[in-house]
Amino acid sequence: MTTHPDSPALSLPPELHAVLDAALDCVVAMGADGRVVLFNAAAQRTFGYTAEQAVGADMAELLVPPSLRARHRDGVARHLAGGAPAVLDRRIEITGLRADGSEFPVELTVTRLRGAEPVLFVAYLRDITDRKLAEAELKASRIRIVEAADAARRRIERDLHDGAQQRLVMLALQLRIARGRVGDGDESAALLDEALAELDGATAELRELARGIHPAVLTEGGLHPALRALAARSAVPVVLQEVPDARFAASVEATAYFVVAEALTNVARHACAERATVVVREEAGALVVEVRDDGCGGAAGAGGTGLRGLDDRLAALGGRLSMQSPSGEGTTIRAEIPCAS
């Protein structure tokens, strides 16, 4: 890289140069011809050029990745021809190019110095590689937390199933064999019948507990049979209008299932509805879950209900939960769950 003696650097008092060089952010200025006239110390560290190399060079050639250069130059030309400034005076995120050819994410604002003659654009930039990495790591770790919680629930359900439930089943079969060997008039018959009834109750309670933790039918058969079962148990009549038979990632299926379960619980408790409608469909890389009711509407936000917990779960998966509940017009809960299938 050679210096560009023909393009004068911005002439500033030495104190002002010192001020700019002390800044943490990169400060880069260019003229109407697109050539760099100011390149502070932070810019030198970030992009890997000395001020002598940068000043006088074409800014786009120097700092903008080849794939973005045409757009950048068009923007500048349009602005200088009197067009509305598209990128001036607001924060934008874009990709920068270092001297070694590597690209990295930057945030920046560009301003055009008012009244400056000749034209002067000044950009303030920051390398946001670390923040981007931290954001990606945060996102990944939130997804891992949801997945770990789901896996733990499945494990608890399986342990209950393989342990206590299995033993109760064996006990029921043994009692029924014993009952079969005792005549109806026998004193023991009544005792065995009572024991069987008691056992039925215990089994039902355990089953409800296991189902609330994680429904086995969801693991075995996916959303469609699991939602059919949920609909069948609902206190308010439920129409399953549309549910895909396809299987999705376990965390996606569990989230969709719990959204419908929670929404139907709310309908039964608060909505004074006669009917609820459930629609689940794949739309542009997301599984969209909608539960509508024909009740009184006017529900106050997702807060205070079990939906808030689901909101966190959805946010962790990069999805979102929304509710519409105009008074007198019923309530619609809508969840969008990203699913790459």
**Mask 146-185, x = binds another protein (CB under 8 A)?**
---------------xx--xx-xxx-xxx-xx--xx----
In this structure, which amino acid lies at residue 307?
Answer: L
Stretch that binds another protein, among 51-59, 78-86, 215-223, 319-327 (CB under 8 A): 215-223
Applying CB under 8 A, does 203 fall inside the site for another protein?
yes
Q: Using CB under 8 A, which of the segments 14-22, 76-84, 228-236, 267-275 binds another protein?
A: 228-236
Applying CB under 8 A, which of residues 4, 69, 73, 207 lies at the interface with another protein?
207
Q: Which x/- pattern, by CB under 8 A, does the window 114-153 give for another protein?
A: ----------------------------------------
Q: How many residues bind another protein (CB under 8 A)?
A: 27
| Minimum separation from the CB atom of position 140 to another protein (A) | 31
Sign of the CA dihedral with 71 first, then 111, 119, and 65 last: negative
What is the enclosing helix (H) or strand (E) of 18? Answer: helix 14-22
**Which of 99/164 has CB closer to another protein?**
164
> What backbone phi and psi angles, to 5 degrees, belong to 192?
-65, -40
Nearer residue to another protein within complex by CB, 157 or 262: 157
Report how far residue 148's alpha carbon sits from residue 36's, in angstroms, rounded to the nearest whole number: 51
Q: How many CB atoms lie within 10 A of CB 299?
A: 24
* Smallest distance from another protein to CB 220, Å: 6
Site for another protein in 241-300 (CB under 8 A): none
Q: Compute the least distance from the CB of residue 199 to another protein, in Å.
A: 8
Sole window of 10-18, 96-104, 224-232, 277-285 interacting with another protein (rule: CB under 8 A)? 224-232
Nearer to another protein by Cβ, of 86 and 169: the residue is 169
Write out the H or E segment, with its range, that includes residue 54: helix 51-54
Decide the pairing of beta strands 36-39 and 26-31: antiparallel
**Would you count residue 221 as binding another protein (CB under 8 A)?**
yes
Least separation in angstroms between residue 264's CB and another protein is 15
Residue 48 in contact with another protein, rule: CB under 8 A: no
- Per the CB < 8 A criterion, the answer to whether 79 and 71 are in contact is no
Map residue 264 onto helix, strand or coil.
helix
8 Å CB contact between 282 and 273: no
Identify the three-state secondary structure at position 303: coil
Q: Looking at beta carbons only, is 72 or 228 nearer to another protein?
A: 228
To another protein, the closest distance from the beta carbon of 206 in angstroms equals 10
Least distance CB 74 / another protein (angstroms): 58
Q: How far is the CB of 262 from another protein (least distance, A)?
A: 19
User: Cα–Cα distance between 188 and 25 in angstroms, integer?
Assistant: 87
Looking at the Cβ atoms of 221 and 298, the one nearer to another protein is 221
DSSP codes of every residue in 147-210:
HHHHHHHHHHHHHHIIIIIHHHHHHHHHHHHHHHHS-TTSHHHHHHHHHHHHHHHHHHHHHHHH
CA 59/CA 27 separation, integer angstroms: 12
Contact criterion met (CB below 8 Å) for 125 and 26: yes
Please name which of 7, 39, 37, 36 lies closest in space to residue 21, comparing C-alpha atoms: 39
Positions that interact with another protein (CB under 8 A): 161-162, 165-166, 168-170, 172-174, 176-177, 180-181, 203, 207, 211, 215-217, 220-221, 225-226, 228-229, 232
